[in-house]
Every structure is written in C-alpha cells, then in structure tokens.
Structure 1
C-alpha cells in the first residue's frame, strides 16, 4: 500500500526529480441497494520545475491509494510549456467549465500572485513571477484545467514568427 503524504509534501524515494503537490482530496459516496460505499478522489499536479507540468486524478477506497493513483496519472499526462526567465511570454486566458483564469507575465521579484490550485501548478512548474486572476467557479479541478488550458495557449515569439513566415526581429518591428 502507498504511503500517505501530507498536503504539499515532496514524495520520499522519488528518483525522477519531479515535484509533487496534492491539491484536493474529496470524499465520494455512492449509494447502492445495500447502503452507501465511501471512496476518495484525489487531484494532484506533478512538475519538473522547468516548464513540464502534469495533472492527475485518482480514486480509491483509501486516501493514500487515491493520491498514488493521481500522481501516476499526472506523470503520464505531462506537457511542456515554454517559460521566459521564470514567467510566461504574454498575457493569456484559459477556460474550463465555469472557471476562467487570466495570467500575465511579471518582472523578476514579483513572485507568484495566484490563489489556491493555481499556485500549486506554478510552484511545481518552476514559474517564479506571474500575476493571475480567476473568475467564475473556484472548483479546484476546473481551476487546474483552466490554468493548463491557458498555459497550452501561450506561444513564444519564435513560434509566432514561424507561423507568419517571418523572423523574430520582423515581428517586433
């Protein structure tokens, strides 16, 4: 059986160098003919501190097993986001369900100005300076998905230049 990790703790014996954060654990009840069955659903994020991020969900009869399943799911679903000096390249908006997240790059020394689940995403991802604002639903699952949606929408100057068939210098002039 998996070992239980306190909220926000780094997993021990983790040799792949990934940072792990548990965002939420919910108790879920299923009503059946014989009564109620309890289980737990966990939401976690995993990152390498250099722009790679993954989100995972796990469900089991016990909390530690649910968290372990969520961590494994997050490892399998990692995506790479290009960062620029510890922040993002430009303003970006992401949505999922009724959650809407706005992010803006910030100068060095600003820190991570984000609440709840978004902060955990940026901490494991390696973002050191960013300003965010969330509107609508504050459901942790929706907020994490909206944050990842926004990060996937962000592009670098070289990607924009390649799409337009121009050089980076032509884009900025």
Structure 2
C-alpha cells in the first residue's frame, strides 16, 4: 500500500499542531503458522522526527496496516534521540556497523543537500539535517539500514567551541602566577617572624620572673 494512502488514513496530514512528523518507510505482510493454518499480519517500519534534532524509529505489527503503523509510531516516539546538528550538518564523520549494514556519514557544506537514498534519507530528513554525505554498504534490509542510521546519529558528539587566547590573556595569566608565587613565598617568612617574636617575649617574661 502506498505511504501517502496510509498516512491519509491515519490523519497524519491533518495533525498540524503535532510537533513530530511521521513517515512510513516500509509495510510488509508477514505470516505465522498456527494449528488452524497461516495467520497473516502486517509489519510497519516508521520514522518520527521534529526536523530540529530529534528522531526515532519504531516497528509495529497488527492484523491491519493502520494498527501496525500506529504501534510503530508509538514505539518510535518512545525511543527518540537527540542529535547534535552544526550548520545544518553533522559535527564530524562517523562509521557504524549494524547487522550486515555498514554506514558511513560525513559532514557537507551548504548547498550539498542530502546525498543518501531510501530509508537513510528518511531518517536524515526528519532529524533536520540538510547537508550530508552518506554511503551504505552490505545489507539492503531497510530495518537494518534505519537502525544503523539511528545508531550513527546517536553516537555523534558535540564539538565544544575553542576560545582563542589573546596576548593580553597570556600576560594576565603570567601576572596572576607571579602573584601566587610571591604570596606562597612571603607567607612562610611572616610566620617565621611571628614565631621569633613570640619566643623573644616568652624568654623576656621568664627572665623577669
């Protein structure tokens, strides 16, 4: 069944107030053998994201497509992750292996757009990344590809801004270090002087007695 027809049945387009956007990646018909024969059910793979750094994926099963998609959406919302995005791309390149799938992601400059296909593209679009390079090798299984993409995004780390030191900062740091050294040196001398004065006072008092 077409993804647009499924989404229209679920009323996803009409939910304008919803923060998250859902996308059906795959719907399969699966069967299970029981005593009375084969039991046919549907399995749905759905990606959910807010296009602002949050994304999740879920799998749901049901006797009808609508029920399977609803279960998948609920699972995806429960497994949301936050992804660091820097200038509409990822902060650094990353490689991950999941099952038989091998995924490589690399940051890209503005105007590159999303260089990815299929299920990987769905995840990257809904998380809010606009420029990225990707390469998928190995398994063509969409479930493995989506999980590999989620794992790669989850493994990304934020880059902390590097503050450049000016010559004035270096001068101030040296002055502070010199002051600390002077204080550390002078303090024992003062203590010794105080001790000597106390000893002299004690000796004078003993002589007078």
> Aligning the two structures, in what range does the TM-score lie when normalised by the shorter sequence?
0.7 to 0.9
Give the TM-score normalised by structure 1.
0.86
Q: Which residue in 1 is equivalent to 2:22?
A: 20
- Given the alignment, which residue of 41, 46, 59 partners 1:57? 59
Q: Deviations over 1:119-159 (max 9, x none)?
A: 0001111110001000100101100111111111111222x
Per-residue deviation, residues 73-97 of structure 1 (Å, max 9, x unmatched): 1111101011011100111012210
Corresponding residue for residue 146 of structure 2:
144
Residue 14 of structure 1: how far off its partner (Å): 5.2
Contact 1:23 1:44 in 2 (8 A): yes
Q: 1:168 aligns with which of 141, 154, 162?
A: 162
**Alignment check: 8 A CA contact 1:97 1:142 kept:** yes
Structure (1 or 2) with the larger CA radius of gyration: 2
Q: Which among 86, 93, 96 is matched to residue 94 of structure 1?
A: 96
Q: Secondary structure at the match of 1:49?
A: coil
Query: Which residue in the other structure is 1:157 paired with?
Result: 159
Larger RCO (CA under 8 A, 6+ residues apart): 1
- Deviating 4+ runs (over 4 angstroms): none
Greater fraction of residues in helix: 2
How many residues align? The count is 158
Greater strand fraction, Structure 1 or Structure 2: 1
Distance of aligned partners of 1:14 and 1:29 in 2 relative to their CA distance in 1, 3 Å threshold? farther
- What are the ranges of 5 or more consecutive residues in structure 1 without an aligned counterpart? 159-166
Q: Unpaired runs of 5+ in structure 2?
A: 165-209
